[in-house]
Amino acid sequence: MTIIALILGITCMILGLLGCIIPALPGPPLSYVGLLVIHFTDRYEFTTPMLLILLGLVVLVTVLDYLIPMWGSKYMGASKRGTRGSLIGTILGLFFLPWGLIIGPFLGAFVGEKMGKRDTGQAVKSGLGSVIGFLLGTAFKCVLCGYMTYLFFKEVVGQLFC
């Protein structure tokens, strides 16, 4: 049973890391499931506070992944229409993977700004802010998934040599 859990856990970790880049896969939740799978075996164990903190971080990073592009455009001077457009573009971009996730927030912010009668330069600046926000959200996911993968393999390798 431990071997099956180990294989399932490793699969979740790999898919979690891939999910940081491939938007169709929920990276941080998959990595967290990988930790839980081996936690509920007889050989491997994580502390309850650690699992709860990681769960909180997974929820936070998952929510922020949708909000950070909007905040990035706002930081670059977007109006309310631009920030709303960025959020709508992020969601619509999910249907046009993989490029939709980069182009979607940009176009959403750009179109929102143009609908608000802002000049093209400001609309482009808002769109770039949303793209930078998207990349920052991706970086957060990669760091969290990388850390959970590290914990996973540290626990597994530690038990192999004990």
Burial pattern 49-70, b for ≥16 Cβ within 10 A else e, equals: eeeeebeebbeebbebbeebbb
pLDDT tier for residue 89 given thresholds of 50, 70 and 90: confident
Tokens of 13: 């970790």
Q: Quote the pTM value.
A: 0.79
pLDDT at 52: 96
Q: pLDDT tens for residues 107-142?
A: 888 888 888 888 888 888 888 888 888 888 889 999
Q: pLDDT tens for residues 29-44?
A: 999 999 999 888 888 8
pLDDT tier for residue 1 given thresholds of 50, 70 and 90: low
